[in-house]
Each structure stands twice: as C-alpha cells, then as structure tokens.
Amino acid sequence: MNQFEQEALAYHAAAPAGKVALQITKDVNTAADLALAYSPGVAVPCLAIRDNPEAALKYTAKGNLVAVITNGTAVLGLGDIGALAAKPVMEGKAVLFKKFANIDAVDLEIDERDPDKLVEIIAALHPSFGGINLEDIKAPECFEIERRLNERLPIPVFHDDQHGTAIVVGAGLLNALALTGRQASDIRVVCSGAGAAAMACLEMLVQLGVRREQIYVCDSKGLLTTRRSLSAEKEVWAQDTELHTLAQAIVGADVFLGLSGPGVLTQTDVMQMADEPIIFTLANPEPELRPELVREVAPRAIIATGRSDYPNQINNALCFPYLFRAALDCGARTINQAMKLACVRAIAELARNSPEFGPGAIVPELLDPRLLATVCPAVVAAARASGVAHR
C-alpha cells in the first residue's frame, strides 16, 4: 500500500468514521423545545402537510434534501463492487453537495440489482426528498431506471454519471472549439467508450451542433457500424462504413473523446488526427493516453482528463451541486435539457471570463467561488423559460 492509499484510509477512519453526520437545526434544550420538536407539537405540521403536501417544503427539510442513490454496480473505475463498498463514494457525493451548494444529502446504498425492483424501492422512498441523484448504476439499466423515475416522480431525478459528465464535457468542448477556431458543425469526433457517460456526452455534442454523421463510436469490440448487431442505445451511433477500428476512424478527426480505459489511444493515433487536436482522455484514474505522451507528438493539442493533477479536469462537481440548487430553489420537478444546456453555457462562459482562460484552462477550477452565483441563476432562468419551475 502506497503513502496516498494509507492517507486515504486514515482520512476516512478518523473519528467520527466516514465523511457525513446529522446536525440538529432547532433548539432542543428544554421540555418546551421537546414538546414542539416531537409530541405533541409535531402533529401540527403533520396535519398541515396532510391538507397541503407543498407545506412539507415549509415545515420539513425536504426542500433542501437530496438522496444520493446507488446499487453499486458501476462504481468509479472499480466496476461492480456492490452497494456497501460504494458507500464511501456516495458519502463523498453528499459532502460535495453540502460544500458547494449548501444542500443536505443522504447517501442510500440499495442492495438490489433488478431494475424493476430498484425503481419501485426508489419511488417508494421519494416523499422524503426534494431530489434524487442516481450514481454508479451500470448501463444499460441506468437509462431505463432514470427514465421511469423521471416519468413517475414529481421531483427531479438526475443520473450524474451520464448528464454531469456530458455537461462539463460540453462546456470544455465549446471553449476548445473557440480557441482553435472551429465550428461544432464542422468537426469530426471519435469516441472510445459506449457506456452511460459516453451516450450522454454524445447526445450533448449533438445538442451543441455536432453532426451525428460525424461522430464515430468504438466499444470494446470495435467501431459501431450498421454491420454489427447492437443494443438500441448503441444502434443510434452506428455508422454505415467499411471502417472497423478506432485507429482507422481517428484519421483526420478533430476530437477524441475517451470514456473507456487506459491504453486505448496511442501516440500513432494522435499523429493521425487533425492539427491542434482536441483530446479528452477521461478514463479514471488512468487516462486512455497520458497528457505528456500526447504532447510529445501533438504539442498544440488541447487536452482534458478526469484527474486533478493535470489541467482541465472534467469533474462532475462543476455542475451537479448547482443544477440541484437551482432546481430545488425554483421548484423544478425535473432537470430538463434546457437546464442542462444553460449549465453548459454558464460553465463555459465562466471559464472564458477568467484571466487564466486558454488551452490549459478551458473549464473553471473546482473551487472557483463564482460557480454558485453564475451557474444557478442561468439554470433557474432556463427552468422558468421552459415551464418547469413551480416557485
């Protein structure tokens, strides 16, 4: 075990164990306080909520409470490690909600792999929360779970592995295109990876103007083509082409988007790309190709990774706390595409308005204090304009 691993275990083990705890928000120092906090006083807001469910937002923590939910089937780059082993990640997500947007979050690790049963469990729990953040649920089940919950529940349900990644990738790409003088409609994209995050990123690129016929996607078996038998999610990205491999597809490409694993991209591949390539190697913790190796053969490349020790970290925490803050504040019952696009553009604009903006700073820093005040109003405005804001 190396020093960092030892430090990580010590950090989590320091008393009290874990990273989150409950905090009492009202005085409970006297008998009178207790009478108000519990019996008999608690019956009064109960009856008010019975008569008007919206009163729960006034008399309980529901309006500022998000559930971070997983079944542990696709945790980070660790894979299917189970619900219990996913708990440190979900606690960490709760910390980020509180740190960046002052949202209280409860982590729920549900030991259920059947998608139908998982939907029923989450739906039954929903009255407790103002929003639900799905996390680390494997594809393709995650697509159906999120869709069904969004259709069924009156609160926002957001699968961050998909949409959070897509939003930050979209913001970074907009700025990379601006820096290299490209238009979204003109570029050719090669994507390595065909899981939940990749599918959402590609849909976001199309929303931003990239032409679907200019997007080539590879999974572990090669290029998605009309000659292969594919799932419905992958079939959308199948190209009618004689090409079969990433190495063939990447010739002349403007953008490489990696959401797969280490070693997928080679220096030879990079050398076959267009001048000033845009290379997002987002596999974590080890990218598809290390930035220093990209630089050896493409010194003018714009590079992003998922790591904090390189410039341009594509980190979901740049968006999900602020999306939920905005949705909770304006009473949005869903986080729709208009809100996601508003988030993309707000993050991109924030980076452009920084003195550091350039090839090494195409997205804001995670601790940029302007994020809350910039992103939230833009998302709220989009929610109102699109008719999903109820407050």
- Binding-site positions read 135-136, 161, 284, 315
Decide the pairing of beta strands 278-281 and 255-258.
parallel
| Rg of the chain, C-alpha, whole Å | 22
Question: Which stretches of 84-165 are assigned E, i.e. beta strand?
Answer: 104-109, 131-134, 157-159
The first and second tokens of residue 106, run together, are: 């409860």
Residue 164: what residue type?
Answer: G
- Tell me the three-class secondary structure of 24-37, residue by residue: CCCCCCCHHHHHHH
| CA distance linking residue 331 with residue 391, whole number of Å | 5
Annotated binding site for a divalent metal cation: 135-136, 161
Q: Would you say 338 and 386 are in contact if contact means Cβ atoms under 8 Å apart?
A: yes
The first and second tokens of residue 2, run together, are: 């190396």
Annotated binding site for (S)-malate: 284, 315
38, 58, 99, 221: the catalytic one is: 38
Report the 10 Å Cβ neighbour count for 364. 28
| CA distance linking residue 93 with residue 9, whole number of Å | 17
Report the 10 Å Cβ neighbour count for 29. 8
87, 93, 234, 340: the catalytic one is: 93
Residues near 242 by beta carbon (within 8 Å), at least 6 away in sequence: none
Residue 38 a catalytic site member = yes
The dihedral over CA atoms of 230, 236, 242, 246, expressed in degrees to the nearest 10, equals -90
User: Do you find a cis peptide bond into 140, omega within 30 degrees of 0?
Assistant: yes
Residue 138 a catalytic site member = no
Q: What are the DSSP calls for 200-238, one per residue?
A: HHHHHHHHTT--GGGEEEEETTEE-BTTS---HHHHTT-
Closest CA to 184 of 166, 204, 164, 168: 204
The first and second tokens of residue 304, run together, are: 């992003």
| CA distance linking residue 123 with residue 153, whole number of Å | 7
Closest CA to 20 of 99, 134, 138: 99
Residues near 162 by beta carbon (within 8 Å), at least 6 away in sequence: 142, 143, 146, 196, 197, 199, 200
Q: Nearest 5°: CA angle at 220, between 217 and 222?
A: 55
What DSSP state is assigned to residue 274? P
Where in the sequence numbering do the catalytic residues fall?
38, 93
